[in-house]
Amino acid sequence: FLNFLNQPHLNLCSIEDPIEIRLQGVNQIAYHPKAGLHFNAIIRALLRQDPDVMMIGEIRDSETAKLAISAAQTGHLVLSTIHTHQALSCIERLRYFGIEPHAIAQNILLISSQRLIRYRDSSMGRFAIHEVLPFTPKLMTAIEKCVSSTDLGIIAGEEGFRSMRQAADALLNQGLIDQSVLIDELP
């Protein structure tokens, strides 16, 4: 995705653990705690460079979450990962990290979640199924009102959200995957 955004007039920065692919035109910094290069320290340093886009390899704790939201609040496009089983769980994780509901609603554009699952024919390998949760005005209002995760799921569904489970059900109906995939690989 950084390659898609990579334009000469944009300052793109990333914090990665480790840097897996070198990207021309992106200021890439490796997370290295033994050298004092923690996500939080790197984020603070990068904000002084006024990045247009900041990719944070992973939000692992409340301080990193707060810094990421703070960067978004000051006009930076922030991309990151949070390890959860589904897109809606990211909202709960951010709440757990102490991010205010208003800050979540007003500073996130969308959440995407993906998982690799097996084809019925194992010789075909694995493929990604995904879900994309755009922050619509109705969903943003619900987040600000701290509605339950269950109710957020209902509202998201009303707004057109299709879960990974629904995507997998469609693949099951097409005969591309086995029922065992739904049991073994999806929440």
Q: What is the pLDDT of residues 127-138, one digit of tens each?
A: 899 999 999 999
**Three-state SS at 160:** coil
- What local confidence, expressed as pLDDT, does residue 187 receive? 64
What DSSP designation does 178 have? Answer: -
pTM of the complete model: 0.90
The separation between CA 157 and the C-alpha centre of its own chain, rounded to angstroms, equals: 19
List all residues 6 or more positions away from 77 whose beta carbon is below 8 Å from its beta carbon: 5, 52, 53, 54
- Listed in order, the ranges of the chain carrying CATH 3.40.50.300 are 1-81
Phi-psi label, residue 75: left if phi above 0, alpha if psi -120 to 50, beta otherwise: left
Amino acid, res. 14: S
pLDDT tens-place values along the chain, 187 residues long: 888 999 999 999 999 988 999 999 999 999 888 887 788 889 999 999 899 999 999 999 999 999 999 999 999 999 999 999 999 999 999 999 999 999 999 999 999 999 999 888 889 889 899 999 999 999 999 999 999 999 999 999 999 999 999 999 999 999 999 888 878 887 6
- What local confidence, expressed as pLDDT, does residue 146 receive? 96
- Report the top-level CATH class of 1-81: alpha beta
- What local confidence, expressed as pLDDT, does residue 182 receive? 79
Tens-place pLDDT, residues 16-50: 988 999 999 999 999 888 887 788 889 999 999 89
Structure tokens at 52: 């247009």
List all residues 6 or more positions away from 26 whose beta carbon is below 8 Å from its beta carbon: 2, 6, 12, 13, 14
